[in-house]
Amino acid sequence: MKPTGTRKINTSAAAFMLQLRHDHASLSRMLRAIDGMVDRLAREPEAIQPFLAEAFGYLLDYQYGHHHPREDRLFEGIRARQPALTNTLTKLTEEHETGERETAELAAVLSTATPDQLRARKGEHLATRIHGYIRHARLH
């Protein structure tokens, strides 16, 4: 039988990993919802912009403010135990940083643009940019 302290650590680690998996599932659902609506942005900005602004606010606040910092701390622990993974983990951390910058930029545009500004080309350009963001997030 394992000592109680070890069981508690294993239970905590399992709970931590379960939370990360739940976060990834939530992110996947959010990306799917964004992807399903973004093509309507240039045609229906009044209906789509509020949802997208809120979705990107969530991504910025939760994924980048809470989830990714937790992953980055996990990566540091892994680096200490598995130095061979340093390059991969560094790349993931860098992806978090670039993703956060892009998310913040998209959130700012979505929260400040007027519906008239999002009609036609600007909305189409922003939709294309959001599709690129989604592709990058899914690959990450």
**Contact status, residue 41 vs residue 126, Cβ threshold 8 Å:** yes
**Contact status, residue 20 vs residue 71, Cβ threshold 8 Å:** yes
Side chain identity, residue 87: N
pTM exceeding the 0.85 threshold for the entire prediction: no
How far is the C-alpha of 26 from the C-alpha of 46, rounded, in Å?
25
pLDDT of residue 12: 85
**Contact status, residue 94 vs residue 69, Cβ threshold 8 Å:** no
**Contact status, residue 113 vs residue 124, Cβ threshold 8 Å:** no
**Mean pLDDT in order along the chain per 10 residues (140 residues):** 57 87 92 96 96 95 90 91 94 92 96 94 95 91
